[in-house]
A = this chain, B = another copy of it.
Amino acid sequence: MVDLAKLADEARAQADEPASLVMRFSADEQLAMDCGASLAPWQIAYQTYGELDADRRNAILICHALTGDQHVANPSPVTGKSGWWEFFVGPGKPIDTDRFFVICANVLGGCMGTTGPASTNPETGRPYGVDFPLVTIRDMVRAQAMLLDRLGVSDLLCVIGGSMGGMQVLQWAALYPERVFAAMPIAAAARHSAQNIAFHEVGRQAIMADPDWAGGRYLEQGSRPRKGLAVARMGAHVTYLSESTLHRKFGRKLQSREAPTFSFDADFQIESYLRHQGITFVERFDANSYLYLTRAMDYFDLAEEHGGILARAFRRTRTRYCVMSFTSDWLFPTPDSRAVVHALNAAGGAVSFVEIESDKGHDAFLLDEPDMFSAARGFIDAAARMRGVT
């Protein structure tokens, strides 16, 4: 039996005092947010790998996805599992920490030590809950920029990320073009589609339907909306996989039995797999953060602030881009990436486009995908050469 009060305490501790590097900003170092709020004091939790070189030219920023965190290449202090991009980032890896200074920060609104709804509201001494201001992708990027300022990293060799991380990459290039030498958005889009908003809304309604959500005040009650968050995660997880992965991995195979039970037990392997995904997620992720970060993705529409014309977001860009998609990704399908490429073409940007053959769906960007690795290695190495990184 899970000790919910203990989980709630751990979640609050993780939000305020994470097992991570933390940069703290005082009451007079406000973060101006799109919703109009000014957040202060606030903090951003991050990890770094490798060394910043003397010229300060070898910094790479990695932006994580919806349920990711700053622990790219080291074990998670929460789950003990290895870093979420350990195939990709490390000594001798495509993002080579022997050569590059790699930074990854937990996003604003997250639950791993950057200020978010699970953090203590200094005005009340209680977790913010849904009193936390709505976060946008741009707010996340502004927070990262303030972290980089503090770290003395004026500009980036490359900013790279998948899914919601890819949205941040595009926002970085649009908001701080002079700070981004190269950008690599993977399995992303310049705006969230109606279908994706719809799936997110179902997940949010599942969380808010759970009485244990308690109007967002569950942490101070020592509780968690476990069932609602598990349902949200299960539904989202289906969208991360491709039909062919599901068919190959599970098909209609039964779980530890010869015949169906004629009950609502998890007869099929896909059912027990999904239930497991839901249950384990609850132990590592804050439900309110899930509400905030899905909302941030829904609000993302890079063209909107440029009169609806995406190319204008990249006007006079000197950043080099490598846009990447996966054939079986139906959540952020290739046409979404192509729209970014077309806009960059229209803006006269330097862009290459890689569509990777994979049957692993949206999740492919998190998996051991050799084609992704070699394309990224080539792109980053070329950028490093051009920029004179040794």
A positions within 8 Å CB-CB of B? 34-36, 130, 133-134, 191-195, 197-199, 201-202, 204-206, 208-211, 227-228, 230-231, 234-235, 238, 241, 243, 246-247, 249-252, 260, 262-264, 266-268, 270-271, 274-275, 278, 291, 295, 298-299, 301, 330
Contact = CB atoms under 8 A, between A and B. Distances in A.
A318 B138 CA distance: 64
Nearest to A136: B262
A270 B206 contact: no
A238 B193 contact: no
Q: Helix, strand, loop or mixed for chain A's interface? A: helix
A251 B260 CA distance: 41
A263 B208 CA distance: 13
B264 A208 contact: yes
Given A133-B262, A246-B195, A246-B198, A230 B209 contact: yes
Number of copies: 2
Given A194-B247, A194-B270, A264 B209 contact: no
B209 A274 contact: no
Contacts of A263: 134
B270 A198 contact: yes
A330 to B, nearest CB: 8
A206 B274 CA distance: 13
Nearest to A228: B209
B231 A195 contact: no
A330 B238 CA distance: 14
